[in-house]
Chains A and B, each alone.
Chain A
Amino acid sequence: DAGITQSPRHKVTETGTPVTLRCHQTENHRYMYWYRQDPGHGLRLIHYSYGVKDTDKGEVSDGYSVSRSKTEDFLLTLESATSSQTSVYFCAIREDPNNEQFFGPGTRLTVL
Chain B
Amino acid sequence: GESVGLHLPTLSVQEGDNSIINCAYSNSASDYFIWYKQESGKGPQFIIDIRSNMDKRQGQRVTVLLNKTVKHLSLQIAATQPGDSAVYFCAENMIYNQGGKLIFGQGTELSVKP
Contacts and interface: CB of A to CB of B under 8 A. Distances in A.
Given A101-B34, A104-B43, A43 B100 contact: no
Interface in A55-95: 56, 58, 90, 94
Nearest to B105: A42
A58 B98 CA distance: 10
Residue with the highest number of chain A CB atoms closer than 10 Å, among B42, B97, B105:
B42
A45 interface: yes
Interface in B1-50: 32, 34, 36, 41-46, 49
A97 B95 contact: yes
A98 B51 CA distance: 9
Contacts of A98: 32, 95-96, 100
A54 to B, nearest CB: 9
A45 B4 CA distance: 14
Give the interface residue-count category, chain B: 20 to 34
B86 to A, nearest CB: 13
A96 B95 CA distance: 9
Contacts of A1: 43
A76 B89 CA distance: 24
Given A42-B107, A43-B89, A97-B93, A31 B34 contact: no
A42 B44 contact: no
A31 B100 contact: yes
Interface of B: 32, 34, 36, 41-46, 49, 89, 91, 93, 95-97, 99-102, 104-107
Given A42-B104, A97-B96, 16 more contacts: A31-B99, A31-B100, A33-B101, A40-B106, A42-B107, A44-B104, A50-B99, A50-B100, A96-B100, A97-B97, A97-B99, A100-B46, A101-B102, A103-B45, A105-B43, A106-B43
23 contacts: A31-B100, A41-B106, A42-B89, A42-B105, A42-B106, A48-B99, A48-B101, A50-B99, A58-B101, A97-B93, A97-B97, A97-B100, A99-B49, A100-B34, A100-B46, A100-B49, A101-B34, A101-B46, A102-B46, A103-B45, A105-B42, A106-B41, A106-B42
